A and B are shown apart, each in its own frame.
Chain A
Amino acid sequence: MLDSTLIKFGLITSLAGIYILLTFTEIQAEKKYINEITEKQIDKRIKIFGYVDNVKYTDKTSIIKVRDLTGRMNIISFKKISPKKGSLLQIEGKVAKYNNELEILANNIILY
């Protein structure tokens, strides 16, 4: 196989990657206030900032109630985390609905 053929294959591979990236992915999570999150956002990636109200734990999850200026919402984390009450969090995750209530399944939580 010639190197020119290999370069062509390389370019096709890169172009395929760019196409998949532009077509099938959401690169940046949209920043939202809690009251802006509606059922339309279910399964979408969003980012919110909020203060911790309280934290509860189940066997496999940490359920963090956060609030911002506009409302309150449950954040579900599949890792045990224990932020202090009143601390500021940046949460990125997917919107989901559980027991008729909207919540965020956290993919990433940053403690400020």
Chain B
Amino acid sequence: MLSLIIPIILGTITGMITGLTPGIHINLVNVIIISLLPFLTKISSPLQIICFIISMSIIHTFLDFIPSTFLGVPDTETSLSLLPMHRMLLDGKGYEAVLLSIIGSLFGLILIIILTLPIILTLKKIYPLIENYIPHILLISITFLLIREKKSKIISLFIFLLSGILGIAVLNLNVPQPLFPLFSGLFGTSMLIISIKNKVKISRQLKTFPSLKIITTTKTLLSGIIASFMTGTLPGLGATQAAIISSSFSKIKEKYFILLTGAIGTIIMYLSVLTLFSINRSRSGSVVAISKIIQSITKNDLIVIISITLITAGIAVILALKISEIFSLLISKVNYNKLCIAIIIFITTLVTIISGFQGLIILITATFIGIITQIKEIPKNYLMGSLILPILLFFTL
């Protein structure tokens, strides 16, 4: 136990940095871990490195809602495409929005840990049957998302194809960390530029608390688990798709949608560990790193991972609450436009350092596509075409 305390502390600190800094993803740390493995395995045991990765990943999934709620806020005019969290922030309820996502993350995680055994059995039985049909399932999922789109089906399809073509180009370029400038542009800098253009001002934040019904919460979390299971075990699909599929099971209220998105991020992270354990497939950057460290996950490793997940989830709850309290106090006091400019400069510098000049071009192109999506009020999940289209081509060609 004592030998795992230091990795948990280091993982918590790293998860805080990646979770709270816009544009920095845990996969960046995972790549560094993989490149340092020959050295790391000499100074620490494989289990200690895995503990570090798990702690970092769990803390990250709990905290990453804080910067997206408080820092990436488009104007109310584009509210149709806004995530409900941003709307709550503009209403002065940013703290409550984060609280909802924490509730989702914690209870979603507890629920999926309880369901570990049936999920492992299902994965072992079902995955070999669907493995060959992955492109078909992806196509059905995309069609499903497009059919559900109430307006601008053609523009949505155009955005999907445009981001898909960019994704194909980016993944075929020899650029270090290609997904970093791609996603920073599609989802980060584009939103910040729109915020600057619209001169968004944040109203004073109030400390309000949500009232939730236990039955509805449980139903929402279970639908999140089912959708995460559908998307988390397939390459290319992720948290956003799971949230859309899950919310389409039944009409859910805005606050339960936030709860759902909070739950799904954490559920998918845990599910990717189960995917590695039961069918030996890596479906997240953290699990790819784990698979490089150990040859296979034993039952003992899995129980250690479950324990570390629970321990860090508790730490993450306290951290997320305290940090979002500080954010809600500060956010209405700072000049939001200047803050957005500072974040854009930070991301651009980081992209140039990590991915070089080509990375900068990717960032600019992706930013423009992200801006078009916002101006046309198209939901951002269509930007995931940047990953789905290359995967479809990989399986079909």
Give the contact stretch, choosing among A25-33, A34-42, A48-56, A64-72.
A25-33
Within 8 A of A (CB), among B169-210: 209-210
B: interface residue count bin: 35 or more
B45 adjacent to A28 (CB under 8 Å): yes
Let me know if A57 is at the binding interface, CB within 8 A: no
Give 5 A-B contacts (CB < 8 Å), ordered by A residue.
A1-B103, A1-B209, A15-B314, A45-B298, A107-B295
Contacting residues, chain A, for B106 (C-beta < 8 A): 6, 9-10, 13
B301 adjacent to A107 (CB under 8 Å): yes
A16 adjacent to B317 (CB under 8 Å): no
Q: Which residue of B lies closest to A47 (CB)?
A: B45
Let me know if B318 is at the binding interface, CB within 8 A: yes
Shortest 3 CB-CB contacts between residues of A and residues of B:
A14-B314, A17-B310, A10-B317
Let me know if B304 is at the binding interface, CB within 8 A: yes
A28 to B304, CA, bound (A): 11
A25 adjacent to B295 (CB under 8 Å): no
Given A10-B313, A27-B304, A107-B296, A3:B99 Cβ within 8 A: yes
A107 to B45, CA, bound (A): 12
B295 adjacent to A109 (CB under 8 Å): yes
Let me know if A79 is at the binding interface, CB within 8 A: yes
Given A10-B317, A14-B310, A106:B3 Cβ within 8 A: no
- For residue B210, give the distance in angstroms from its CB to the closest CB of chain A: 6
A13 adjacent to B314 (CB under 8 Å): yes
Let me know if B309 is at the binding interface, CB within 8 A: yes
Q: Which residue of A lies closest to B210 (CB)?
A: A1
Given A7-B317, A22-B1, A27-B1, A17:B309 Cβ within 8 A: yes
Q: Which residue of A lies closest to B37 (CB)?
A: A110
From B1, B294, B313, B321, A13 is in contact (CB under 8 Å) with B313
- For residue B327, give the distance in angstroms from its CB to the closest CB of chain A: 14
B295 adjacent to A21 (CB under 8 Å): no
Within 8 A of A (CB), among B256-297: 293-296
Q: Which residue of A lies closest to B107 (CB)?
A: A9
Total A-B residue pairs with C-beta atoms closer than 8 Å? 110
Given A27-B1, A27-B4, A13:B295 Cβ within 8 A: no
Interface string of B302-329 (1 = CB under 8 A from A): 0110111111111111100100000000
Contacting residues, chain A, for B306 (C-beta < 8 A): 17, 20
Let me know if A98 is at the binding interface, CB within 8 A: no
Contacting residues, chain A, for B120 (C-beta < 8 A): none
Contacting residues, chain A, for B295 (C-beta < 8 A): 77-79, 106-109
Q: Interface centre among A25, A28, A78, by most B CB within 10 Å? A: A25
A7 adjacent to B308 (CB under 8 Å): no
Interface string of A73-89 (1 = CB under 8 A from B): 00001110000000000
B317 adjacent to A107 (CB under 8 Å): no
Contacting residues, chain B, for A24 (C-beta < 8 A): 303, 307
- For residue B147, give the distance in angstroms from its CB to the closest CB of chain A: 35
A6 to B317, CA, bound (A): 7
Contacting residues, chain A, for B310 (C-beta < 8 A): 13-14, 16-17, 20
Contacting residues, chain B, for A45 (C-beta < 8 A): 298, 300
Let me know if B236 is at the binding interface, CB within 8 A: no
A17 adjacent to B311 (CB under 8 Å): yes
Let me know if A103 is at the binding interface, CB within 8 A: no
Within 8 A of A (CB), among B30-49: 41-42, 45-47
A32 to B209, CA, bound (A): 55
Given A3-B99, A108-B294, A11:B301 Cβ within 8 A: no
A40 to B394, CA, bound (A): 49
Let me know if B110 is at the binding interface, CB within 8 A: yes
Q: Which residue of A lies closest to B310 (CB)?
A: A17
A7 to B320, CA, bound (A): 10
A1 to B209, CA, bound (A): 6
A18 adjacent to B99 (CB under 8 Å): no
From B47, B211, B298, B311, A94 is in contact (CB under 8 Å) with B298
Contacting residues, chain B, for A22 (C-beta < 8 A): 1
B307 adjacent to A20 (CB under 8 Å): yes
- For residue A8, give the distance in angstroms from its CB to the closest CB of chain B: 10
A18 adjacent to B307 (CB under 8 Å): yes
A17 adjacent to B308 (CB under 8 Å): yes
